[in-house]
Amino acid sequence: MQFTDEGYIINARKHGERALIVTVLTRNNGKVCGYVKSGISKKNTGTYQLGNLIKIDAWSRVDDNMLLLKAELITPHAVNFLTDAKKLQALSSFCALCNTCLPELQPLENFYQKAQNFINLINEENWLTYYCSFEFYLLDFLGIGVDLSECAATGTRENLAFVSPKSAKAVCYEAGLPYQDRLFKYPHFVVEPNRIPTTEEINDLLKMTEFFLKKNFFTIHNLKFPDVRDSLAEIISI
């Protein structure tokens, strides 16, 4: 196996004295994990940081072996996160969820675009909207998407105000009002591209995506929900 691609670093861990095991969310090959022989060196200081865009040459002599990677830094996006606690927490959460949830070496279709939007637009005022869009799309990618199109109780498309934790479907205001304490708030900014959400709306969306991720993916696959994602809502509310 041999290929060249580009993508964002979502994990890098030390292996031995100088080597790294690096995981990259790539444009064409999905999640790629490989061995970098001299990843820890003066020359590579700053290269293997979360969020950085790199070009990789990947190869293995036998398909079942771990890939060997040679990387070249394209854009050092990490610098846009390191001085802001909220942005750094969001990046850490993004990387942890991608690293845990995504399969290796499978095309991810629109997923890469969501990653680009979040990382490339991190200096925009509404950067959190792009993070939320990533998590909402992650639900859909994992097959646990939320249906926001019409009310689960009445079929109406008007006055949608809530989301049911049981059905993962929208509920209109009239049908949901008596049960509002048990429902999630409807994330209007997800379906209205030009709407800038409030901090409260961001937190409501993150509560909903966290619930469905835990219930329908992490629990089912006996995986631990990332600690960095658990504390994200608290950090961004400060």
User: Mean pLDDT for each consecutive 10-residue tract of the chain (238 residues)?
Assistant: 94 89 96 90 84 95 82 96 94 97 89 94 94 95 94 96 97 97 96 88 95 97 95 80
- Report if residue 117 sits inside a domain: yes
Tell me whether residue 177 is in a domain.
no
Do 35 and 129 lie in one domain? The reply is no
- The pTM for the full model equals 0.92
The verdict on 74 and 90 lying in the same domain is no
Residue 19 lies in a domain: yes
Residue that finishes a domain, picked among 54, 79, 104: 79
Question: 79, 100, 117: which is the final residue of a domain?
Answer: 79
What is the domain range of residue 66?
2-79
Give the number of domains in the chain.
2
Q: Give pLDDT, residue 234.
A: 83
Segment 34-65, tens digit of pLDDT = 999 887 877 777 899 999 999 999 998 776 67
Judgement on whether residues 109 and 121 belong to the same structural domain of the protein = yes
What pLDDT is attached to residue 44? Answer: 75
**137 and 73 share one domain:** no
User: Long-range contacts of range 144-153, CB-CB < 8 Å, 24 or more positions apart?
Assistant: 144/168, 144/212, 144/213, 144/216, 144/217, 146/208, 146/212, 148/186, 148/187, 148/190, 148/191, 151/175
pLDDT of residue 64: 65
In the prediction, which pLDDT does 154 show?
96
Task: Report the side by side order of strands in the sheet with 160-163.
Answer: 170-172, 160-163, 184-185
Last residue of a domain, one of 44, 79, 114: 79
pLDDT of residue 99: 96
